[in-house]
Amino acid sequence: MQVWSLFWLVTAHFTVVVWAESDTGSRRVQHTGNRPDIGGTRVPGGAAAAPLDITLVGVPVDCGSAYRGCLMGPDALRVAGLAESLSELGHRVSDAGNLAPDLPGPREHTNPAIHDLGPSAGWVSALSDAAFAASADGPPIFLGGDHLMSAGTVSGVARRAGKRGRPLFVLWLDAHTDFHDLNSTRSGNLHGTPVAYFTGRAGFEAFPPMPAPVAEERVAMLGIRSVDAEEAARIGGTAIAVTDMRAIDEVGIARPLRAFLDRVAAEDGDLHVSFDVDFLDPDIAPAVGTTVPGGATFREAHLVMEMLHDSGRVTSLDIAELNPFLDDRGRTARLVVDLVASLFGKRVMDRPTRAA
């Protein structure tokens, strides 16, 4: 614990900048499609992707969950080499350090189950502003933190997409749908609410207003396998595309993802990816508070990340629910770093692409 506290102190008060010269072009895959730079400026068709300006934003929030420990997530991802693995791919990586919540004061709610409402609302407002700012010049990666973080990050990147004049899509990689509101949650754990919040549902009067709600039909969920009956009924009545593990077992993970990415491309959209570590099977990723068996395999997860990279559409990323206190010698953090590297261009094997 003392070591973690020390890391937290160091990273919370200093901004570390990692800058790598782009000498790794040969390792990058050549894309032949009209591939947009994910920072919002376009790369001409046929060109390889330019190095990106990636900002890491630490989000040490764990008041949204029942188990403590996610506040150590940002530093575990740093220690596991996230910045280094991205800069090795030729990207310019800056670490903005850890964010702190705004302090809105105590908030009351008629649902007695809810805990930490004031700090949660403070995180959402701080994150909304930080996500808007960090997405100006390139893709931010938000290092959580429990999944409450996404209420704030999606709020901020939705404003950014609106400013660019593009529709925002959200890909939700998770065992859970996180679709409760403040009235419906029985656990009172607010990390179960962000999707209902950012799609503009009622029941969030205690949170800052969602400035630009994401249209339900622009949200897709992959990996779902733990939904309570009430939540299932709520989400069944929406236009959100929910792909559960049974569907993945039947048709594979690529088909529903490709269908969604085609829709993002058809509308020329920005894409926020919210990656809950419990999307992965707990056998390969044990460091989560609520383990649910039957998650995505190593191969499925890498395929998802490589397809996201190939799409050239991802404009921001959350890494949520990593709880280093529950990890096995950093194994989950290292896997997550590897998967994020896949999303940003790392390949097991280069696949030469013919010139168009």
Three-state secondary-structure class, residue 306: helix
Residue that is written with structure tokens 């890909």 in the block? 171
Q: Is the peptide bond before 145 cis (omega within 30 degrees of 0)?
A: yes
The CB-of-233 to Mn ion minimum distance in angstroms stands at 19
- By beta-carbon proximity to Mn ion, the closer residue of 95 and 276 is 276
262 is in an annotated binding site: no
- By beta-carbon proximity to Mn ion, the closer residue of 270 and 278 is 278
Structure token digits, residue 11: 């990273």
198 φ, ψ to 5°? Answer: -80, -10
- By beta-carbon proximity to Mn ion, the closer residue of 94 and 274 is 274
Q: Does 318 bind Mn ion (CB under 5 A)?
A: no
Q: Which of 179, 175, 176 is nearest to 151 (CA)?
A: 179
Helix, strand, coil percentages (3-state) for the chain, rounded to 5, are: 40, 15, 45
Are 289 and 325 in contact by the 8 Å Cβ rule? The answer is no
Contacts of residue 31, Cβ cutoff 8 Å, sequence gap at least 6:
47, 48, 49, 310, 312, 353
- By beta-carbon proximity to Mn ion, the closer residue of 37 and 231 is 231
Where in 139-168 is the site for Mn ion (CB under 5 A)?
147
Total residues contacting Mn ion by CB under 5 A comes to 5
The CB-of-13 to Mn ion minimum distance in angstroms stands at 29
350 is known as an active-site residue = no
Piece of the chain touching Mn ion by CB under 5 A; list 159-167, 214-222, 236-244, 268-276: 268-276
176 is known as an active-site residue = yes
Query: Cα–Cα distance between 27 and 19 in angstroms, integer?
Result: 18
Three-state secondary-structure class, residue 59: strand
178, 231, 300, 338: residue in contact with Mn ion (rule CB under 5 A): 178
146 is known as an active-site residue = no
146, 276, 281, 318: residue in contact with Mn ion (rule CB under 5 A): 276
Are 142 and 57 in contact by the 8 Å Cβ rule? The answer is yes
The CB-of-276 to Mn ion minimum distance in angstroms stands at 4
Q: Does 180 bind Mn ion (CB under 5 A)?
A: no
Query: Cα–Cα distance between 320 and 70 in angstroms, integer?
Result: 8
Of residues 278, 300, 306, 338, which has the active-site annotation?
Answer: 278
Q: Which of 106, 187, 197, 193 is nearest to 146 (CA)?
A: 193
Piece of the chain touching Mn ion by CB under 5 A; list 3-11, 50-58, 124-132, 276-284: 276-284
Q: Does 35 bind Mn ion (CB under 5 A)?
A: no
137 is known as an active-site residue = no
Q: Does 174 bind Mn ion (CB under 5 A)?
A: yes
53 is known as an active-site residue = no
Q: In the 8-state DSSP scheme, what is residue 305? A: H
Indicate the angle between helix axes 298-311 and 254-266, nearest 10 degrees: 20
Piece of the chain touching Mn ion by CB under 5 A; list 160-168, 250-258, 271-279, 287-295: 271-279
CA 77 to chain centroid: 13
Query: Cα–Cα distance between 22 and 89 in angstroms, integer?
Result: 8
174 is in an annotated binding site: yes
The CB-of-62 to Mn ion minimum distance in angstroms stands at 13
Of residues 91, 180, 191, 302, which has the active-site annotation?
Answer: 191
Query: Cα–Cα distance between 95 and 57 in angstroms, integer?
Result: 6
- By beta-carbon proximity to Mn ion, the closer residue of 37 and 327 is 327
Residues that bind Mn ion (CB under 5 A): 147, 174, 176, 178, 276
Supply the residues annotated as catalytic: 147, 174, 176, 178, 191, 276, 278, 321
Q: Please report, in range form, the residues annotated as the binding site for Mn(2+).
A: 147, 174, 176, 178, 276, 278
